[in-house]
């Protein structure tokens, strides 16, 4: 991937996650500083973890363009919310899904550029994609999306697997990116629309757990 494309995808991922953080702040009715905090943490949290693990300069410290994209996205979101207060709920999930797919690709690419093997790259791609949203949900005192049965981290992992398969068969980078992004988005949006999920425990076990909760 060329440096220009890598930079553009990273900017887009930062912007989409900043929007999702700002929308989450709006739903929690926090003040203006809280909107900036949630938007920023969601936008740069995953990439920061990735760069620390790879022992590289943190991307938003090395290049302030990402902070400009982050703050601009937050400001635009605030303006839109003042004009249309119904921009929440599904819209939060939609922009979060797009950010998930973009940051998954960025994490994979950056890990491969740093010399990591594909399994490590897929793992770091998933970490890059989910960590900012994880912090956002914890701060908002919500059960993190990554901890639910619905497809979230799994969508990133499968998207990373598609990238690895295409990469193995020497597909062009554009096809690797498109295949991974499309797969992650379809799985995540399908989970939102039709409730796609991969339960770990049998349904009867889940029912027993619900009954035990009700008995306390």
| Residue-range definition of the domain harbouring residue 156 | 3-215
Residue pLDDT, tens place only, 143-170: 888 877 678 999 999 999 999 999 999 9
pTM > 0.75: yes or no: yes
Rg (CA), the chain: 18
Least trusted range by pLDDT, from 37-46, 67-76, 188-197, 202-211: 202-211
Mean pLDDT, residues 183-207 taken together: 77
In the predicted model, is pLDDT for residue 87 greater than 70? Answer: no
Label residue 201 by pLDDT band (50, 70, 90).
low
User: pLDDT by residue (tens digit) across 103-117?
Assistant: 999 999 999 999 999
Residue 213 has pLDDT above 80, yes or no: no
| Per-residue pLDDT, 32 | 81
Q: Is 54 left (phi over 0), alpha (psi -120 to 50) or beta?
A: alpha
Whether residue 214 has pLDDT greater than 50: no
Give the span between the Cα atoms of 187 and 59, in whole angstroms: 28
For position 209, what pLDDT does the model report? 47
More confident residue, 74 or 93: 74
Which of 103, 100, 85, 65 is CA-nearest to residue 23?
85
Q: How many domains does the chain have?
A: 1
Residue 89 has pLDDT above 80, yes or no: no
> Residue 78: helix, strand or coil by DSSP?
helix
What are the C-alpha distances in Å from 152 to residues 34, 86, 167, 205? 25, 24, 23, 22
Q: Average of pLDDT values for 69-83?
A: 91
* Mean per-residue pLDDT of the chain: 87
* 3-state SS class at 72: helix
Alpha-carbon span 183 to 212, nearest angstrom: 37
CA distance 37 to 134: 14
């Amino acid at each position: 991937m060329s440096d220009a494309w890598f930079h553009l995808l990273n900017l887009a991922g930062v912007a989409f996650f900043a929007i999702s953080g700002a929308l989450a702040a709006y739903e929690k009715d926090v003040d203006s500083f809280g909107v900036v905090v949630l938007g920023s943490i969601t936008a740069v949290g995953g990439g920061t973890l990735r760069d620390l693990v790879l022992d590289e300069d943190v991307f938003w410290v090395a290049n302030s363009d990402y902070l400009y994209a982050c703050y601009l996205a937050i400001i635009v979101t605030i303006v839109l919310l003042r004009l249309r207060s119904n921009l929440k709920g599904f819209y939060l999930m939609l922009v979060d899904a797009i950010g998930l797919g973009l940051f998954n690709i960025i994490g994979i690419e950056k890990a491969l550029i740093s010399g990591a093997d594909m399994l490590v790259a897929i793992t770091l791609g998933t970490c890059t994609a989910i960590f900012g949203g994880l912090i956002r949900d914890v701060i908002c005192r919500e059960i993190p999306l990554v901890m639910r049965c619905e497809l979230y981290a799994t969508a990133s992992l499968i998207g990373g697997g598609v990238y690895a398969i295409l990469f193995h068969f020497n597909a062009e980078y554009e096809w690797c990116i498109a295949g991974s992004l499309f797969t992650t988005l379809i799985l995540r949006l399908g989970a939102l629309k039709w409730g796609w999920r991969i339960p770990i425990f049998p349904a009867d076990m889940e029912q027993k757990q619900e009954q035990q909760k009700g008995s306390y």
